[in-house]
Amino acid sequence: MSNWIDLNQDADTGIESVRAHFVGHAYDPHFHDSFLVGVTEQGVQQFNCRHVRHQSTPGQVFLLEPGELHDGHAPTADGFTYSMLYLDPQWLERELHAVFEQVPQHALPGFADTLCQDTLLAGATLHAFQALHGQELRIVRQTASDELLAALTRHLQWRKRLHPDPRLPLTAQRAREYLHAHAHQDIGLDALAVACGTDRYRLTRAFKAAYGIAPHAYLIQLRLSQARGLLARGHTPVDVAARLGFADQSHLGRWFRRAYRLTPADYRKRCTKLPD
């Protein structure tokens, strides 16, 4: 069976629903701005995340937070199939405040584990996927989303918003902030190091230790994540490439396909139903 991807986006919540099948190499290391909740339906889904190699088998739920670097590979000949929801962080935080009677002040939600065996959560995830992906009645979609949130609560943990985060090198945090503020510019490693008050070699070591990838790789993933958001709102690939500092539309397309296995135009069309 060849690779395929079926993607849709819910107009009310912005939640993306993706069902896909991959054989062999699925996608390069990348991250998302969303919380990812998915269920492996068939085969073995192998991926690296949080410095651990995971293998998700049928019925298991995988959970990824925004910014968590991960890849994808099928270690068996029959490949793997999964259904997944991309939960918008603002939507999730708003809904969780309604679910929990008391939320810690200045706290962020996170997932306790990357992989879990939870029949209730797997069922709720697939039910929500079917309702959202199938564009069921609004009341059906909202009920399914509420059931998913209720099932997710046992896997959530709250952590304080820390700035700066004492667990990470200050140099790396400054570099990350600089990259986010200047993501569309042609940033040089020397200029980035100067802005962070260090040299390029110490900066690269600190950044890799904190985020698992070098600054240039992080910048590309940051641009791809922003490109995904712009395309979903209807911007054309050529406009997105120009806005985010890619050399041209082809340059954007090459990186986008490596991360998401879709062309920018195809992704835009699936999210917006607009023609190319």
131-141 confidence digits (pLDDT tens): 999 999 999 99
Tokens of 171: 């140099």
Q: Could you read off the pLDDT tens digit of each residue along the chain, which spans 276 residues?
A: 689 999 999 999 999 999 999 999 999 999 999 999 999 999 999 999 998 999 999 999 999 999 999 999 999 999 999 999 999 999 998 888 777 766 666 678 899 999 999 999 999 999 999 999 999 999 999 999 999 999 998 999 887 766 777 767 899 999 999 999 999 999 999 999 999 999 999 999 999 999 989 999 999 999 999 999 999 999 999 999 999 999 999 999 999 999 999 999 999 999 987 776
Domain limits of the chain?
4-160, 170-272
Overall pTM > 0.85: yes
**170-272 has CATH 1.10.10.60 classification:** yes
Question: Domain 4-160 carries which CATH code?
Answer: 2.60.120.10
